[in-house]
Structure 1
Amino acid sequence: MPKGKRQRKFEAKHLQGTIKRRKHLQSVNRKRDLPASAADPKPAEEKNVEELDIDEFLSGDFLPEGGAEEMSEGDSSSSGSEAGDLNAAASESDEEEEKVAPAATAALEEADESSSDEEADDGTGLAASSAKLANAVASHKAELEALREKDPEFYKYLQEADSGLLNFGSDEEGQSDDDEAVAGLPTKGPLTLSLVQGWTAAALAGPSLGAMRHLAQAYRAACHYGDSDEAGEAGLQIASSALFNRIMLFMLKEADGVFRRLLGVDATSTLRPASLTKLPRWKKVEPLIKSYLGNTLHLLGHLTDGAMLAYILRRARASVVFLAPYEKIRRRSLKAALGLFGSADAAARVQAVLFVRGAALALGGSTLDACLKGVARAFAANAKFVNASSLPAIDFMGAAVVELYSIDPAASYQHAFEAIRALAVLLRGALSTKSKDAYREVYCWQTVNCIELWARVLAAAATRAAQGKGGAGANDLAALSYPVAQLALGVAGLLPTPSYFPLRLRCVRALCALSAASGAFVPVAPLLLEILAWPELARPAGRGADSGFDPALVLRAPKTLLRDAAFQEEIVAQTLELLTQHLAQWACHVSFPELAHLTTVSLRRFVKNCPVDRFRRSGKQLIDAIDRNVAFVGRARDAVEFSPKDITQVAAFLSTEAAAKSAPLQQYARVLAAKAAELRPVF
């Protein structure tokens, strides 16, 4: 007797659940059941990947040559040209890289994590389940055939209700997963160049999901080449240098574009992290993306050649949005990039900071916070020592921090506040305890470099806020200028001894830049005039034991250098230059005559007591420029009709001349700055 309609629906629903569960297992098997490893033995002697330079890595000469016999003559020439392309790609640079100077940064101060989970992320070690799943599929098909013979009416009902339930084992979306037919060769044997060329052609033409599965496994074998467990875990064996080069070149250059086409995303469109997992084909492509990211991270951790590291980071930057669903890979990728930011050569450092910046822009949220905190820590860790070779690197790191902290001023505020507060705690400890250890914590390169860094960050924030480009939170970040100015003033006057005049000049220079950007008055003139009142300047100088003084590399001058004529000349020249720069900022202000009065008196005393002709001559030139500027402002003040309480009109006083920098003192400041730039680098 035929079954009732309700009973048929119940049985169909029960069968649907069973089939979907088994179908899911089969899908997992198709994604992870990659070709088995070739039986060819390894060469007797192999180099680890981390020991290679870029030429050896890209050429693949460290690989065995046994696979060369399987290649045709045309294949060899093709692969040779690809090797040349990869060498050329590794040396090229973006225009974006030209905007940032080379420098070094430090690794994140986080606990190291084991890489065992990442190995599992590559989709390996599951070959043992393939046979079991295949048996389950065969058993299920046998059950369906038995159902067809036992109850043909119910089987016909299933065909009408949902034919997809009976087509278990076929591709749902019509895309072929017949991986062994992709290149026309079986995948269970040695990996050859012709097979890989077939996969790459299919991946670019289709794109083919099956071909990318094989290429992902081959890429893993290439990235893990030389590992101690490579022979046991890798499903493929790379037998020639041309094959190695072909796999690496294709995956690094083309994988991102192929993944986007597989996901159905336009190459020119911007992917959003929140919508990434909602794409229709995400579940099918996700294991390949995860494998690619994990293997690229493994490769970064095992290479030491700067050019190759720079190239890999440059290519990985295009896929940074795919890090969004993988918290652990994302965290370790940022850690690796920040480590290269602090320890690699110039090219790798540039690409590392661009990778971090790309992650901060694309992912935002907690990733942005990690990037901001990471670059600040990296700068502090690498700013402990300064010499001629590390100075450009530290300058680059500072520029990179300024750039990253300009992405989101609202998010940057909290990190900047915490860092500035930590510096203020050091200064407070030195002022309260007055011990040598406390002074040493303040008067060191790390503290001084960090003070200069935050002055640069806040000066950039104030400039953007004044231009209306900072966005939300720009004014809050710029408001931290006051505590930074107080901090720098306190450090500059902590130990008013001549030995620390170089440190004082660094702090004053940072304060002048911050004052010019924020428009706030910072009283730096007393610090500079105190240097000009140094009694040693009133006596003839001699030749000290340490000639060739470089103020950019010294915080504390030894006593043997204080009597050196070159040291005194450099100190006086920089003091007069900074004093001119400070006064020129207010050269068009209505209160300039009162502001410059005490400075002029101190300068006249310096000129009268100094026995060095060139010092007296420089002092007189500055006094003359100040007097001319006082007369310039005085004539303009005599013509006004507003009172000092009219704030708006006071702010507009000589605004046109201030914008054109046509005041006498401003013109003199430009000439003095040009001469200083010719004689020495500005630090």
Structure 2
Amino acid sequence: MKMKKTKPARKKEETKKHVTKKRKQLKNVTTDEFFSQKFEDEMNDDTINKQDQDMYEDDARSSESDMDPIEHKKSLMRLKDTDPEFYRYLKENDKNLLEFNISDDDNDSSDDIKSSNELNTRHIPNSNLEVASDESDYEIDQDNEVKDKKKLTLQLLKTWQEEIQKDKSLKTIKCAVGAFHAALQTVAESADPESLQYKVEGGAVFNGVVQLCILYLPNAFKRYLKLSSETQFQAHKVKRFGKVKSILKSYLLDLIKILQSVTSTNILTVLLKHLHQMLPYTQSFSSLTKPLLKLLLRLWSTGEETVRVVSFLSILRIATSNRESVLETLFKAMYVKYVENSKFVSLTTLPGINFMRHSLIEIYLLDNDLAYNHAFLYIRQLAIHLRNAMTLKRKEHFQAVYNWQYINSLRFWSELINLSRNDSMLHSLLYPLVQIIIGTIKLIPTPQYYPLRFHCLQILIDISKETETFIPVLPFLLEILNSYDFNKKHKTVSMKPVPFICVLRMSKSQLQENGFKDNVIDSIYKLILENAAKDSHTVYFPDLYIPCIIQLKAFLKRCHIANYCRKMKQLLDKIEENRTFIETERSKTVMDLRNMSEIKNWENKIKVQGTSLLKFYESWIKIYQSQKLKLLTKNEDIADYSLPSIKKLKKGKENGEKSREESSEESDFDIRIKSNEGKLEKRSKPRNRKLRANKDIKEDIDLPTENTDIVRDIDSNDWD
């Protein structure tokens, strides 16, 4: 039989279990966390006494008030009476907590503090503390003064400007390059001010640093390296180059960075001109060539007009100096940029596309043999696109040919062959290129694509003129006169003519306008006249243009529109006049058709003498080019369409006007029209009164009748 434990024994055993439990908790709980946990545990214990409860409430309040040090010390000392075993445990495992000191100078142990009066003692500072001296303040000011030495001022820049023009050492150059780097880093996103040699603050100082480098650094580098003033030099072969190499490379890298971030056209132009001066130094650093060309190609293809020109001059200088390593990369990169930027052609983008094409030709002509390799591949690619469109006849394949990128590529390769040397290998690509252009014309021979046909025919005429190669152009022009009905009435009147300069395809609504027929006739007139003027001195002119004369006469019989007939009649007269002239000159001499040199000499004689057809074309083309220039500069006037003008009438200046205002309720605005007397008698009386009232008004506009065209014609008498 078990003996019942006495009350003291049970209490002792419960206390032992309690301490064991606390020891387990303390293994993973910090000292500060322990107090709050102990408070929560013992608040739920049924055997807790009131004295302990008051102690834990005090601890909780002390924790809420951020544990006041004196109260914290009191609570620790009370543990000795309320929970002796836990106090003993803390003394063994966390002695530092019990030896808590209120102040740093208090060296008494926690066991010696026995009363609350001792705990309330205030902290008294040590009398041996040192007072801050004036020397420490001087040291801080001295540091600030050292930092202020890095700060750039306009006065310092002015001093550098005077020194850099006279000093032949590297000291001022280093200062200028370091200041330029610091100025660039101030506007960079990831900049470390501590690593910079100088401190640039304010826009005036920034501009002063950039101006100092742009104006004086090129000559300073030349003076230090003892280079001549020639445009081409090799800096890396100079003895002193090793000392300036790192500085020069750092400056060129910073110059490329600032060019990448600048957007202002004026600033870009100034920096690009400075870069053009520094380009000879870039030959010494092959790693800079690729990022530099990438930047220049972007500006050449997308920048403003001045930026494009200066960028191209820099590209040309790099290409001529590093021809072997750079040319092949330039050929491919520049052609791709040209094709990418010629996708959309308008009056605003056309000048930029023309500039890119002409400048690209200049680069390709630097090496004809290397240009032949690229031309062969790209012309073959154009032929593959055309073959797919002709065989597969799908919409996507037609679109791959009938677009501006394809036409501009044909124009580029044709102009490159025209401008290349006669003995160049590029001339061997002339025949396949002409066949591609002719195939492009025949792909979709509908009126909708007449503008594209005219662009291709213009390319063929240019090739024939420059290379003196015969290309049959007339059949494609005369086919339009025979197949298209110019007599049918137009459904709508175009308020302004739609030029074919920036158009490849006409919409269905544009086909119904009278402006479409006008432009077609004008284009045929121009191309036949240009082609005839090109051949006007040749010995075969009378025989070649017999079919053209026959078909022009047939067109004049079919066509009932007076303006179109006048144009074609004028063209026919000029061709027949030249035909008669050549036949007369041929009859004067006897030539052996097998002797090509004799025929060539005779043709040159006629060409020097000049033909009436060529003179007419040269005078006509000047007016045409001026009109085209007005159109490209957006100064085209719509006066050619003779639209009626609306003018406000001034009251009280004409006698008949007063009676007109009293007899009718018309407004003060009136359209001034030249009256037709033959039709006035058939009109009703109110209509006659109105026209009689307008009799004294100046009549300056002719409205077209139904059967006449409203495009003005050029009188042949003006050119005689």
- Please say whether Structure 1 and Structure 2 have the same fold, judged by a TM-score greater than 0.5: yes
Q: Summarize the alignment of residues 529-544 of structure 1 with structure 2, pairs less than 5 Å apart.
A: 529-543=478-492
Secondary structure of the structure 2 residue equivalent to 1:301: helix
Maintained 8 Å contact 1:545/1:560: no
Offset from partner CA, 1:186-231 (integer Å, 9 cap, x none): 9963333343333333332122212212211111112232212223
Change (3 A) 1:669 1:545: closer
| Superposition deviation, residue 264 in structure 1 | 1.4
Give the Å deviation of 1:525: 0.9
Distance 1:331 1:312, change over 3 A: same
| Structure 2: gaps (5+ residues) | 1-145, 633-720
- Are residue 666 (structure 1) and residue 614 (structure 2) matched? yes
Q: What SS does the aligned partner of 1:506 have?
A: helix
8 Å CA contact retained: 2:150, 2:197: no
State whether residues 191 and 236 of structure 1, in contact with CA within 8 Å, keep that contact through their aligned partners in structure 2.
yes
Shift of 1:592: 1.2
Residue aligned with 1:452, SS: helix
- Alignment partners' CA distance in 2, 1:263 and 1:679: 55
1:581 is displaced (CA, Å) by 0.8
Question: For residues 455 and 432 of structure 1, what CA distance do their matches in structure 2 show?
Answer: 25
Compared CA separation, residues 678 and 260, structure 1 to 2 (3 A) = closer
Q: Which structure exhibits the higher relative contact order, with contacts defined as CA atoms closer than 8 Å and separated by 6 or more residues?
A: 1
Shift of 1:334: 0.9
C-alpha displacement of 1:405: 2.6
CA distance, structure 1, for counterparts of residue 197 and residue 190 of structure 2 = 12
Pairwise CA distance, 1:534: 2.9
Residue aligning to 1:236: 198
Note if contact 1:221-1:230 (Cα within 8 Å) is conserved in structure 2.
Answer: no
The equivalent residue for 1:200 is 161
1:189–1:540 distance in 2 versus 1, CA, 3 Å: closer
Partner-residue secondary structure (3-state), 1:598: helix
Whole-angstrom distance in 2 between the partners of 1:224 and 1:406: 41
Q: 2 CA distance for matches of 1:499 and 1:437?
A: 18
Within 5 Å, give how 1:259-338 maps onto structure 2. 259-268=221-230, 270-272=232-234, 276-338=235-297
- Distance in 2 separating the partners of 1:243 and 1:649: 75
Once residues 396 and 210 of structure 1 are traced to their aligned partners in structure 2, the CA distance between those partners, rounded to angstroms, is: 44
Partner in structure 2 of residue 614 of structure 1? 563
Pairs within 5 Å for 1:456-605: 456-461=415-420, 465=421, 475-543=424-492, 548-605=497-554
CA distance in 2, matches of 1:246, 1:594: 74
> Which residue does 2:325 correspond to in 1?
366
Asked if 2 retains the 8 angstrom alpha-carbon contact of 1:401 and 1:457, the reply is no
Output the amino acid matched with 2:191: E
Please say if 1:651 is aligned against 2:600: yes
In structure 1, what is the Cα distance between the partners aligned to 2:192 and 2:227?
37
3-state SS of 1:207 partner: coil
Name the aligned partner's letter for residue 165 of structure 2. L
Q: Distance in 2 between matches of 1:415 and 1:345?
A: 28
Structure-2 residue corresponding to 1:627? 576
Task: For residue 546 of structure 1, report the CA deviation from its aligned partner.
Answer: 8.2
CA contact (8 A) 2:164 2:216 kept: no
- For 2:483 and 2:281, the matched residues in 1 are separated by 61
2:594 aligned counterpart, secondary structure? coil
Task: Name the TM-score, length of structure 1 as normaliser.
Answer: 0.67
1:510 and 1:594 map into 2 onto residues whose CA distance is: 24
Q: Is the 8 A contact 2:494 2:515 kept in 1?
A: no
Contact 1:544-1:564 within 8 A present in 2 as well = yes
Deviation at 1:370, TM superposition (A): 2.5
Q: Which amino acid aligns with 2:624?
A: A
Amino acid at match of 2:168: P
Deviation at 1:371? Answer: 2.6
Q: What's 1:191 paired with?
A: 152
- Structural RMSD (CA): 2.3
* 1:223–1:657 Cα change, 3 Å: farther
Distance 2:401 2:493 in 1: 28
Counterpart in 2 of 1:258?
220
Give ranges in structure 1 of 5+ residues lacking alignment.
Answer: 1-184, 467-473
Query: Offset of 1:516 from its aligned partner?
Result: 0.9
SS in 2 for 1:237: coil
Show CA shifts across 1:579-632 (max 9, x none).
111122111111111111111112111111112111111111111111111111
Give the Cα separation in 1 of the matches to 2:548 and 2:325. 50
2:185 is aligned with 1:224 = yes
How many angstroms apart in 1 are the aligned matches of 2:216 and 2:466?
A: 45
| Mapped contact 2:279–2:318 kept (Cα < 8 A) | yes
- Would the aligned equivalents of 2:533 and 2:613 in 1 still touch at CA under 8 Å? yes
Separation in 2 of the partners of 1:507 and 1:610?
26
Amino acid paired to 2:460: L
CA distance in 1, matches of 2:509, 2:152: 71
Query: What TM-score comes out, normalization by structure 2 length?
Result: 0.64
State how many pairs are aligned.
485
Residues 211-265 of structure 1, C-alpha deviations (whole Å, 9 max, x = no match): 2122111111122322122234433211243332221012122222221222211
* Post-superposition offset of 1:518: 0.9
Q: Any conservation in 2 of the 1:592–1:633 contact (CA below 8 Å)?
A: yes
Is the CA contact (8 Å cut-off) linking 1:536 and 1:563 kept in structure 2? no
Aligned to 1:435: 394
The one-letter code matched in structure 1 to 2:393 is K
1:402–1:269: structure 2 CA closer, same or farther, 3 Å change rule?
A: closer
- Higher-Rg structure is 2
Give the SS at the match of 2:189: coil
Deviation at 1:673, TM superposition (A): 2.1
Partners of 1:414 and 1:355 in 2: how far apart? 25
Q: Secondary structure at the match of 1:537?
A: coil
Distance in 2 (CA, whole Å) between partners of 1:561 and 1:486 is 30
3-state SS, counterpart of residue 366 of structure 2:
coil
2:357 matched to 1:395? no
